[in-house]
Structure 1
């Protein structure tokens, strides 16, 4: 049987929250759609789609490098009434929580274990799962004014997705604790200075810079590129136990009162009033 017959058939048409465009040199441009104004369930569907895109990208023999970006002034957020209402409606939903955590696990490990390089073009605000995808990419290009925030604690839940795995490695434990525990946001310019992103450029240059890096890698020796990525990412694989523990605590947080209070406070445009915790 010819080897071509053994390649998996990829249904690229299944992606509804991601716009896919094949560029020259085997570069795949992925553009994320914001859930605001989209049909109900877009937020959950986007989670599902991003958790499977990396395997499809890796399996397509014609593709060499992926670039992921957002639309307008947002890379990927969960802001907006539609997104908050969707989250509120699903708090305490065991089956949905298990699925979201599984997809967060798959997304992170799929990016790390995909042999082909992935570049993030962080054109604007990135938080939650969007920030996870942006920072787990092999090379991250951020707009100097992009707003980066791990919004888990702002929503009353433990930081999961990616931060425990990669922030201490990128910017050091002291900075990681400052931004994660205090829920401090930072600009792309600051993120570059502390080592959280690869490079920060003026807003109008983000996508062109990311694509330029992607095309350079796509023109390089592909086995050497992929083996180098695989070797470097063993640093991230050593953090797998801590990462998976953080996902477990995040899942537990979905069944506590703090998430509901945080979401209601956002909908009502007020500061959350978190109650006293049980002894820990």
Structure 2
């Protein structure tokens, strides 16, 4: 594997002879939730991939039973004003880099995907999801604005009415329903998700790269226009919500509830 990937600790990379790079998130014990290290690495990985001429298509997937559960609550609770500014800088870079990576990206959503984890899937060029996967953007549930890409992607894919219905409540939608709506590319049994994603990636890898990458760039021009408005407003609003009392209270309550569940599970065992 290329030395550019050796520094990554939260992801594993496998490059096939056909040029398909499979990127697997490695925080299975946390449902691949994003902490500071994972977030920092996400802010550089797509630029690194984009400069790797051996790569003709990309598959993103999660280890264990989840794709990516969004932000790790313990990390979020421990943010300071200084680290929070770094986080928002990185968050914008992740979005921009994912839109700019020239190779087609296929998200293999092998389980739950929430918050920015689901946004990464929506911003990918293909999203293959498990039929029973719970997909959501629950920013509002912990007092945050859904400003990191969800407010841009949902209305494009399923219309404003459904976007408001799910972003203003944080309610989940099942994978099979998301496919029926056109929120994702397709849904299939969980065991077929990664193989099916690799089929799409292999097809892209075998296609003329100039034609595929040029078409992707043209299509993503629409997203770049929207990102200049929606993401600027969204990230600005999310910054304010991140220091609100509601956010601090709700994150604390969520962590307390999690601790109680763990204690109850330990007692039963």
2:12 counterpart (7, 14, 19): 19
Name the structure 1 match of 2:247.
Answer: 259
* Aligned counterparts of 1:48 and 1:158: Cα–Cα separation in 2: 21
Equivalent runs, 1:166-245 vs 2, <5 Å: 166-240=153-227, 241-245=229-233
Is 1:32 aligned to 2:25, yes or no?
yes
Contact conserved, 2:28 with 2:63, CA < 8 A, in 1?
no
Is the helix fraction higher in 1 or 2? 2
CA-to-aligned-CA distance 1:144-189 (integer Å, 9 cap, x gap): 0111110211111111111122111111011100000011111111
Q: What SS does the corresponding residue of 1:119 show, helix, strand or coil?
A: strand
Q: Which runs of 5+ in 2 are unaligned?
A: 259-269
Does structure 2 retain, via aligned residues, the 8 Å contact 1:34–1:77?
Answer: no
1:52 to 13, 25, 44: 44
Displacement of 1:247 in angstroms is: 0.9
Q: Determine helix, strand or coil for the equivalent of 1:25.
A: coil
Q: Distance in 2 between matches of 1:95 and 1:64?
A: 38
Separation in structure 1 between the aligned mates of residue 38 and residue 101 of structure 2, nearest angstrom: 19
Tell me how far apart the structure 1 counterparts of residues 116 and 26 of structure 2 sit (CA, whole Å): 13
Matches of 1:225 and 1:156, distance apart in 2 = 40
Structure 1 residues 194 and 37 mapped into 2: Cα distance closer, same or farther (>3 Å)? closer
Aligned length: 255
Listed one character per residue, the Cα deviations across residues 43-77 of structure 1 (whole Å, up to 9, x for unaligned) are 11101111111111110111111100001210011
Please name the residue that 1:137 is paired with: 124
**How far did residue 35 of structure 1 move?**
6.8
CA separation in 2, counterparts of 1:36 and 1:29?
Answer: 20
**Which residue number corresponds to residue 87 of structure 1?**
76
Structure 1: runs of 5+ lacking an equivalent:
1-8, 271-280
Tell me if structure 1 keeps the 8 A contact 2:34–2:69: no
Change (3 A) 1:187 1:121: same
Does the 8 Å contact 1:10/1:56 carry over to 2? Answer: no
The answer (yes or no) to whether the contact 2:28–2:66 under 8 Å persists in 1 is: no
Deviates more, 1:136-145 or 1:253-262: 253-262
- Equivalent-residue separation in structure 2 for 1:12 and 1:221 (angstroms): 26
Question: What's the counterpart of residue 3 of structure 1?
Answer: none
Q: TM-score, normalised by structure 2?
A: 0.90
Name whichever of 42-51 and 144-153 sits farther off: 42-51
Residue matched to 1:101:
88
CA shift for structure 1 position 42: 7.0
Runs of 4 or more, structure 1, over 3 Å off, are 35-38
State the SS of the aligned residue for 2:13.
strand
Q: Quick one: distance in 2 between partners of 1:42 and 1:133?
A: 12
**In structure 1, what is the equivalent of residue 98 of structure 2?**
111
